[in-house]
Structure 1
């Protein structure tokens, strides 16, 4: 599934030019012409001929329909072997009714009722779409110009031609009419991805991809994060989105499904942000945005090209008083990118960014009674212990790309950084074995990734091969102190934690036929944890230890180019997810790391269809099934401290659908829908003392249904006027594994409008945005498994943003 989120007419024109240059430069897989003469047209012709012959042989037999209409003909067929396996008896008939209509075929099947299986349903829908959509698309002569992405294959490919679910959100959606602080502003429209804004900057966003990562009490878990090819996820799988510079982002790619495992540990999905290149003519931008609750963001950006160096530099200062009491926060960010050619065959890219977020207050969650009494209040424990968090991070990296020949490229990426965190929890931690009520982390991280990509030919078809190796390391000093009602107290924990991974991977893409493409790969990961305990007393023994996990993750996919504007695909793969040091940090009983945790192993299957119709409409559909063993779940959560355990097996079954189209008259629309059934497949327990989690219980913080829709209107002749209405829906969110309570489902509407004026070297833009138009009271996210019952994090009521920017070219 693919959503290139921009007006179709603009995207097609720009991408067509870009792809043309790509074809001239590489002349291989990207932009290749696909011959479908031996694909769907031949199949449809054969089916029509077969139907005519069957009709002649069976002429005179009774209709399978009670009311036979003139101009329609019935064709009968005995059930196939596959149909019999699905429950169709030998004596049953399949009745195909074709009417004299220009488009489409009605299909009626007389079969026994069976319980729906999403994969079988997906295969049926894919085959049906492959048969019908080419009849619609064949009458068009429109060049397919989908977005170009790199996350799926590590080389530039049109997303439309890949057997994966991947979305690309461009800069206009990330920056225009937005605060430009949270990923939830622009990625809420991506199906399969759930990003809940906690309205709590001490805990970051709550992000899950197809249900992976929903358990995270803070930060991103189960999803790999990258900025310009540099990991924002540590080797143990824990990541933070706060360092992402949205003000200088060119696009964000979101990869879901099995192929995300090629990025290693914790790959339930991949979110990759790419910094824009500087324009050929230097441009300076100043932007100011302000709104409700004392929220404002000041942005400065400079980009251009000078003395052969392409550059972009962006900085911003964000501040908010917070929707709830005790939720003030501020953030300073800086991001820079330099790119230049060492020689005609070697390109160098330098990246550097910083984040400083001091004393972000943590209002904690609320109980149901507290939400009903005053949804903006803070729990007394938060003020008693002055819960807050400070984060500082600096990171730099370099990528060298070297052509080793006409069809071979070497890419080498290295990075290093430092991250410090101090968090005051809602407990004192005075006991000698408690690990403290203040967590202090100070760590360094670094890594390198090297890969070679070669473009060849095999059996007359183009072949692309990629081989690579990666090494990542994090060294962290972890300390814990007593929380003396908001003041730093005595030492209660002191250890040095190290985690590193050593991975090798390979990918191959081959087109043996003009209408068929194959994509396969594998990654072997070796992840090792070492903890050296320095806090040893009479009552607190030496808790040093080490763990090692390794796993091989194969994936494979196939695409049938059924027509010029219709692709049908399927993929399969497995992967693994190790516990993070945060998840290893505490035990329910005893001291030291929770070395009993084991990696979760997942096996995933997906089928889907991608299609253009009527020149301006795009439809994407994916159906998936994921089986996981040793699922890592929350055991208990108290005052900001969370313990984890392994459950048995879980099942995820889901459907993702998208539609985007230009409606004429300056109107365009977009809609996305996700259905996800994420359940425990076997009984397990949680908490102390253990409590039963029955098979069939839903995974917490994962909505069964989610949807996003948008209607936009632009009038360039009205001083660059644009406006849009957005609607977002989420089903109820269970708060724990036992499903004893849930945040109610909600639907909210937002509206935005803006103007743009261009005169000479100046470009001015103004906008206003209103969120939660109906002022609905709803819970935006939940804290999974909180033992105090403080599950609920209320979202803001009606709130607004206004902003203005000025760009000058010189």
Structure 2
């Protein structure tokens, strides 16, 4: 750690040496990360690690998964699981790595509308890359200002339509009968802008039994009402009619045939169906020259049907919830905030105060996954409950440049999250498991920024965040009993970060940060069998490390990007765990100092790109260290390095532009494990990554 500290301290010296004119004033860009809720403060002046990824740049991928564009951000691990039934695995500085489905531990937003439920569970499936303008990522202490389960923040923004914007159509084809098609209708007239994005992704899957299709539609309307008033309307639709789940593999199965699906996946036809509808509205109203009011409201539904490979004899237990999960989710919420920009003691000052209410109503039903001798179908009912979660938050933050070179950012958020379950499946052998629990937490944050030069910032920030268990994590008790696991406690984390940012007039940037997060009551997987997970509080944990990112143009046509993350994530307390299928009484000790499963110690990303007038090409490399897959650390997924190559050619005509592109993934054709299922009870921890693959695509952009 001492070497890392020295490296961080020396970075600015090396950075300034790269630019002989570093002592001269330069014009810095005014990129504002909206997730910080500070309109007048550019990201460069924030005491936080942030990243903004443009989605308007030419892309040579399928555009079907957010993991495609989140690679190359230090501290962020986005894994394409080759399995649409389980969605992308996303973690930030180790938060969220334990998730076996969806995203948790990280707050998600789409056009300002929460994509994370009040309990902290989120999904990336409705992020529309086809209509996107940019993605913002926040890492570190200031994520806590977004409330429950904010180990980091990821927010996607759709482009605003303006008069004269071109329309776009795009299609790709690749191996395993994979294709994608997307269209974006972007434009406007007068005071109204529109952005309609439609897309379809269809694949037979690289692994057996992994075929899937996903259709998305996203509409954004922005209305300029004049006099600093603006209204945004967002409509979103996602349909995954049937995504088959090949399940994880053991290490031996990976070595024998990484493309196989386990026998039970075929036998029970394991699969998931998802359908989501969502609508949201954001209204902004300027109040004089210095004040602004912002109101946001949203509502939606997400229905999920999942078939699990639980053997029929295991459902003989009267407390079993069956092997088919049927979830109907209804959710809504609103947020209101007031901000003021002015001066205090003749120094720039910005203040924001607000609050939000969010509700989630869930009808969870369980059924047997057999009827007679027929497997993989909905059978007799085994669970029926109405669940509700409500959160009420109030927050405030203030930024003040109190001296020529110094600025201060302070904030706090108070959250109350209440879970309630009403059991409607009560029998003589299955008692009423209704219950209620409420969690309260206040998250303070503070950050100090120093500007030694116009193109260099050094900052220190600290904060406290919290993470409640989600409904999915509470749904199954570790002791095998019926009902929700109301005994789980929230995890509370103390975060601190020391960082620097540098850039020059030629477009080079260099950022680095040292960070530490100490967590009490760490939430960990207790057991994970046949797609059903239960959780426990595992005591204290620590995530600490170093991350850096460097980007620079190399002459007129070349660009280089580098990113590196070193992350040490360990349990600081010993605790007991279960081993083996059916275990409900923990009896094996996990020693203090054991690595947290699902978290690699090292990540490296590099991309070198050349752009000519008509042609462009790039070579991209990524490396990930080994990943422990269970609490004991007795097994690990080996580290790997991958190399990708892409090229594109464009033709300009009077009516538009045609761009054709090709990409080869995993150029060296090395076998590797792309993602892991933490603590999988049958030892099937591994989800293999695809081998060498190809992609061809074309994009037509035209003016109307």
Q: Same fold (TM over 0.5)?
A: yes
- Taking a change above 3 Å as real, the CA distance of residues 402 and 415 of structure 1, as seen in their structure-2 partners, is same
The counterpart of 1:529, out of the listed 419, 429, 444, is 419
What CA distance in whole angstroms lies between the structure 2 residues aligned with 1:739 and 1:715? Answer: 48
Corresponding position: 1:509 with 2:407: no
Question: Following TM superposition, by how much is the alpha carbon of 1:618 offset from its aligned partner in structure 2, in angstroms?
Answer: 1.5
Per the alignment, residue 153 of structure 1 pairs with 37
Equivalent residue number for residue 606 of structure 2: 709
**Structure 1 equivalent of residue 26 of structure 2:** 142
Number of equivalent positions: 690
Aligned residue for 2:76?
193
2:447 pairs with one of 550, 557, 562: 557
1:460 aligns with 2:346: yes
SS of 1:488's equivalent in the other structure is coil
Shift, 1:432, TM fit = 2.4
Question: Where does residue 391 of structure 1 map in the other structure?
Answer: 274
Could you tell me how far 1:568 is from its partner in structure 2? Answer: 0.6
Residue equivalent to 2:183: 300
Partner of 2:301: 418
**Which secondary structure state, in structure 2, belongs to the residue aligned with residue 262 of structure 1?**
helix
Partner of 2:121: 238
Structure number with greater Rg is 1
Partners of 1:121 and 1:634 in 2: CA distance: 36
Distance 2:280 2:615 in 1: 40
Q: Distance in 2 between matches of 1:172 and 1:310?
A: 17
Contact between 2:8 and 2:513, CA under 8 Å: does it hold in 1?
no
Cα–Cα, structure 1 residues 195 and 156, in superposed 2: closer, same or farther, change >3 Å?
A: farther
Which is richer in helix?
1
Q: Paired residue for 1:650?
A: 541
Partners of 2:590 and 2:10 lie apart in 1 by 35
Task: Check if 1:162 corresponds to 2:46.
Answer: yes
Alignment of structure 1 residues 271-310 onto 2, 5 Å: 271-310=154-193
Distance (Å, rounded) in 2 between the aligned partners of 1:203 and 1:156: 39
Query: CA separation in 1, counterparts of 2:176 and 2:18?
Result: 52
| CA distance 1:807–1:123, shift in 2 (3 Å) | closer
Per the TM alignment, residue 614 of structure 1 is displaced from its structure 2 partner at its CA by 7.3
Matched-pair contact (CA < 8 Å) for 2:50–2:136: yes
Match of 1:400 among 283, 286, 289: 283
- Which whole-Å CA distance do the structure 1 matches of 2:567 and 2:15 have between them? 27
Where does structure 1 lack aligned partners over 5 or more consecutive residues? 1-114
Aligned to 1:433: 319
Paired with 2:297 and 2:556, the residues of 1 have a C-alpha distance of 49
Displacement of 1:419 in angstroms is: 0.7
Give the stretch that moved more between structures: 477-486 or 130-139: 130-139
Matches within 5 A, 1:428-507: 428=312, 429-484=315-370, 485-507=375-397
Q: Distance in 2 between matches of 1:371 and 1:385?
A: 21
SS at match of 2:545: strand
User: Which of 740, 764, 769 in structure 1 is aligned with 2:663?
Assistant: 769
Q: Is the 8 A contact 1:150 1:156 kept in 2?
A: no
In structure 2, C-alpha distance between the alignment counterparts of 1:761 and 1:686, rounded to whole Å? 65
List per-residue Cα deviations over 1:471-490 (Å, max 9, x = no partner): 00000100000011211100
Give the drift of 1:196.
Answer: 1.1
Q: Which residue of 1 is the match for residue 522 of structure 2?
A: 631
Change beyond 3 A, Cα 1:556–1:130: farther
Deviation at 1:723, TM superposition (A): 0.6
- For residue 402 of structure 1, give the secondary structure of its aligned residue in structure 2: strand
Which SS does the other structure have where 1:239 is aligned? coil
TM-score by structure 1 length?
A: 0.83
Residues 591 and 230 of structure 1: CA distance in aligned 2, closer, same or farther (over 3 Å): same
Assess if the C-alpha contact under 8 Å between 1:226 and 1:271 holds in 2. Answer: yes
**Cα drift, residue 665 of structure 1:** 4.5
Query: Would you say the 8 A contact 1:430–1:482 is kept in 2?
Result: no
1:694 aligns with 2:591: yes
Q: Whole-Å Cα distance in 2 between the matches of residues 117 and 466 of structure 1?
A: 39
CA shift in 2, pair 1:461/1:390, >3 Å: same
In the TM superposition, residue 763 of structure 1 has moved relative to its aligned partner by 1.2
Partner residue in 2 for 1:684: 575
Residue 685 of structure 1: CA displacement?
1.8
Structure 1 pair 225–448 and aligned structure 2 pair: CA distance change class (3 A): same
Sort the Cα spacing of 1:307 and 1:565 in 2 relative to 1 into closer, same or farther, 3 A. Answer: closer
Tell me how far 1:587 sits from its aligned partner: 1.0
Most deviating of 342-351 and 674-683: 342-351
Give the distance between the partners of 2:226 and 2:498, measured in 1 at CA: 44
Q: Distance in 2 between matches of 1:299 and 1:548?
A: 44
How far apart, in 1, do the equivalents of 2:627 and 2:471 lie? 26
Partner secondary structure for residue 487 of structure 1: coil
Instruction: Report what 1:796 is aligned to.
Output: 690
Taking the aligned partners of 1:359 and 1:248, their CA distance within structure 2 comes to 24
Please say if 1:729 is aligned against 2:620: no
TM-score when scaled to structure 2? 0.96
1:205 pairs with one of 88, 112, 121: 88
Match among 656, 664, 673 for residue 564 of structure 2: 673
**CA–CA separation in structure 2 for the residues paired with 1:123 and 1:286:** 45
The match for 1:311 is: 194
- The alpha carbon displacement at 1:157 in A equals 3.2
1:807 aligns with 2:701: yes
Q: Deviations over 1:620-665 (max 9, x none)?
A: 1100011000000000000000000001111111101111011114
Question: Structure 1, residues 54-94: CA drift from partner, whole Å, max 9, x if none?
Answer: xxxxxxxxxxxxxxxxxxxxxxxxxxxxxxxxxxxxxxxxx
Whole-Å separation in 1 of the counterparts to 2:9 and 2:334 = 44
For structure 1, which segment, 534-543 or 608-617, has the greater mean C-alpha deviation from structure 2 after superposition? 608-617
Give the stretch that moved more between structures: 137-146 or 562-571. 137-146
Structure 1 residues 761 and 698 mapped into 2: Cα distance closer, same or farther (>3 Å)? same
Cα-Cα RMSD: 1.7
Q: Name the CA shift for 1:290/1:763 in 2 (closer, same or farther; >3 Å).
A: same
CA gap of 1:238–1:441, structure 2 versus 1, over 3 A, is same
The superposition leaves residues 317-363 of structure 1 with CA deviations (integer Å, 9 ceiling, x where unpaired) of: 11000000000000110000001123323210000010000110000
Q: Deviations over 1:707-732 (max 9, x none)?
A: 1000000111xxx2111000000000
Q: How does 1:67-78 map to 2 (within 5 A)?
A: none
Change (3 A) 1:537 1:695: same
* SS of equivalent to 1:698: coil
Please say if residues 723 and 753 of structure 1, whose CA atoms lie closer than 8 Å, have aligned partners that are also in contact: yes
2:234 is equivalent to residue 351 of structure 1: yes
SS, match of residue 253 in structure 2? helix
C-alpha contact (below 8 Å) 2:147/2:413 kept by paired residues: yes
Aligned-residue offset at 1:404: 1.1
Query: Does structure 1 retain, via aligned residues, the 8 Å contact 2:162–2:189?
Result: no
Match of 1:178 among 41, 46, 61: 61
Q: 8 Å contact 2:340–2:350 — kept in the other structure?
A: yes
1:70-89 counterparts in 2 under 5 A? none
Q: CA deviation at 1:135?
A: 8.6
